[in-house]
Each structure stands twice: as C-alpha cells, then as structure tokens.
C-alpha cells in the first residue's frame, strides 16, 4: 500500500556507494524493516524516469526468487529514495569475512549455488524484462539467512553513465575490455555479454577471496592490464575443472565468444547446484556465517586485500 517518507523511521546507515547512501528504516505502522537507498539529484530527469519505470515493472511482477523485492520509490525535487527488502549483507562483505577473518574457503557446492542464483536472476531480468544490469559486482548481490538476491539492476549503470557523461570517467573496476578500450567504443549499446564479464569477475572473486587485479593508478593503467594484458584465468587446484571452466569462459576477452545466460545455465558447474539438497546446504551455510558475522561487526572492517 501507499506510504511516504514521513511513515519511515531512520535506523542508521548500512552502507555508502558511489552516488548514494543506503539506510535501514522502519515503516512505523506495519513494523516492516526496509533498506532505503537515497540518490542525490545528480541524475538527469530522463534517466531517473527510465529507472523508475523499470523498478515499477519489477515491483508489480517479480516472480524470480533471486531478485530483491521493492516496496516503492519516493521522489522529491529530483532526489530519489528507493525502498527495498532489507538483507543481512552483500557478497563483498560476506566473502571477505570468510576468507580474511575466518580464514576459511567457501566450499565449492556453496559457490555453485551462489553462482546459479545470480545467473538465474540476471537471466530473468534479461529474458522477462529485457533489462541489462550494467553494474554486476559483489556488492550488488545481497545475502540473507535464506537467500541470495540481486539488486541495483538498471539503476546503477544508467545513473553512472549519466553521471560520468558530466563528470570524469571514474573508477569502474568491473568493466570488460570492450567497454574500456576507446578503439572499440561500442557507442550506447550495452550488450549482455558485458555483464557476463562482470559476472565472471564477481565469481572469480568469491572463488578466490580476491579481486583479481591490483588497484589501478589510472584508467590508462586499467586499459593496459585488461585490454592489452594476457587473458585472466582462474587456476586454483582446490577448485574443480568445472568451476574453473565456468569462470574462464565468462572472462573471454573477445565478447563475441563469451557465452550468454542460456548457455551458462546449461553448464555442469551450475547444473550440479540446481537441486533442493544444494539449496538446503547453502541456506544452512549462509545462516551459520551470518550468525558469526553479526557477532563480529565491531571487529571486522571492510578493506581491500591484495592478491
């Protein structure tokens, strides 16, 4: 039903992104807790409208269990608040906590289920709504005790584009070679396969515990490493050939040879995770880690780890 900002009680900041802040808020009448993302009025009107249309569509009919639930969007003088389901954490915090605080690996069957969930969400948005995400990364994959859910589709990419048009290019570590290389500028068309690359980097990261590249000093530095450097390959003995193959085909530098979602969904790495038993194993694991994480919030700070 309808509600306004006055019905919400602020309950503290959850996190801050490149162009907004996410807060925990309580809807007073119903007691519902939600995550509210506030976006400063930087985006141009056209882009904001488009964003709200997309949100609205997904709000009305979200039949994918791996897409975050939206409660509504509030607009005021160009500022924008997006209200959504509150989750416990995002995949970036989650994997860094496991690898660097608990000093454990994420078991491969769990990795496979997380990969499958994200893939199903991306495929759903593309095939059902023709929405390309444009900002696939670990912080846009949210984790609760019972599910893995994708958020920020269609929002971030378009916003970033509209902001970067007016400001400097900015730091976008998950961009594929074809989006960085000025010689291959593909104009405004953003292909799903660019998302497949970002998805590949994301899965690489949760498999290893590290972002695969060292921090770049400039966009030129990034261009040199990603466009001109050798292809990135996941090679770790601990992981199965299935797992490595899945990640490595997503990281093909030639976007025309990168698989699309339908093909990835048939890959045996995720097919093996596609059953109730794996879902239950994953839920039990998520629950345990989140219990641990919540006990550790004061001592654990998010930071960057070098490979």
Q: Which of the 8 DSSP states describes residue 112? A: H
Binding of ligand ADP by 151 (CB under 6 A): yes
Give which of ligand ADP, Mg ion, none residue 203 binds (C-beta under 5 to 8 Å, depending on kind): none
- Is 37 known as a binding-site position? yes
Site for Mg ion, residues 151 to 190, rule: CB under 5 A: 152
Residues with a known catalytic role: 135
Angle of CA points 277, 260, 252, to nearest 5°: 105
Which residue of 4, 18, 274, 297 would you call a contact of ligand ADP, by CB under 6 A?
Answer: 18
Q: From residue 189, give the alpha-carbon distance in Å to each of 43, 79, 161, 252.
A: 19, 27, 12, 19
**Residue 205 binds ligand ADP (CB under 6 A):** no
The torsion of the CA quartet 36, 119, 132, 193, rounded to 10 degrees, works out to 140
Cα 30 → chain centroid: 29
Q: Which of 89, 140, 194, 282 is the binder for Mg ion (CB under 5 A)?
A: 140
Single residue of 67, 94, 98, 152 touching ligand ADP by CB under 6 A: 152
Looking only at residues 19 through 48 of this chain, which bind ligand ADP when binding is defined by CB under 6 A? 20, 22, 35, 37
Binding mask 253-272 for ligand ADP (x = CB under 6 A): --------------------
- Is residue 125 within 8 A of residue 133, CB to CB? The reply is yes
According to the binding rule CB under 6 A, does residue 164 interact with ligand ADP? no
The CA-to-CA distance between both ends of the chain, in Å, stands at 48
Q: Which segments within the chain are labelled E, that is strand? A: 8-17, 20-27, 33-39, 70-76, 79-85, 89-90, 141-143, 148-150
Binds 84: which of ligand ADP, Mg ion, none (CB < 5-8 Å by kind): ligand ADP
Burial track 280-291 (b if 16+ CB lie within 10 A, e otherwise): ebbbebbeebbe
**Residues at the site binding ligand ADP, with contacts judged by CB under 6 A:** 14-18, 20, 22, 35, 37, 68, 84-87, 90, 93, 139-140, 142, 151-152
**Residues at the site binding Mg ion, with contacts judged by CB under 5 A:** 140, 152
List residues forming the annotated binding site for ATP.
37
């Amino acid at each position: 039903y309808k509600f306004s900002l006055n019905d919400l009680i602020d309950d503290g900041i959850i996190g801050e992104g490149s162009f907004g802040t996410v807060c925990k808020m309580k809807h007073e009448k119903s007691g519902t807790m939600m995550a509210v993302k506030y976006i400063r009025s930087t985006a141009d009107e056209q882009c904001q409208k488009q964003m709200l249309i997309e949100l609205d569509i997904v709000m009305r009919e979200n039949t994918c269990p791996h897409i975050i639930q939206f409660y509504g969007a509030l607009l005021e003088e160009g500022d924008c608040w997006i209200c959504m389901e509150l989750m416990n954490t995002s995949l970036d915090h989650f994997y860094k906590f496991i690898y660097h605080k608990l000093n454990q690996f994420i078991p491969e069957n769990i990795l496979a289920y997380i990969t499958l969930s994200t893939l199903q969400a991306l495929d759903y948005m593309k095939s059902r709504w023709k929405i390309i995400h444009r900002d696939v990364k670990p912080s846009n994959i949210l984790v609760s005790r019972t599910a893995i859910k994708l958020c920020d589709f269609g929002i971030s990419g378009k916003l970033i584009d509209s902001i970067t048009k007016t400001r400097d290019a900015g730091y976008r570590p998950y961009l594929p070679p074809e989006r960085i290389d000025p010689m291959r500028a593909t104009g405004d068309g953003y292909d799903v396969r660019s998302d497949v690359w970002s998805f590949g980097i994301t899965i690489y990261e949760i498999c290893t515990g590290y972002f695969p590249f060292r921090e770049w000093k400039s966009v030129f530095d990034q261009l040199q490493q990603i466009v001109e450097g050798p292809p990135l390959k996941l090679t770790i003995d601990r992981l199965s050939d299935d797992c490595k193959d899945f990640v490595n085909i997503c990281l093909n530098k030639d976007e025309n040879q990168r698989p699309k979602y339908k093909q990835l969904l048939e890959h045996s790495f995720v097919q093996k995770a596609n059953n109730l038993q794996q879902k239950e194993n994953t839920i039990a694991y998520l629950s345990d880690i989140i219990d641990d994480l919540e006990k550790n919030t004061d001592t654990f700070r998010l930071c960057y780890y070098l490979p």
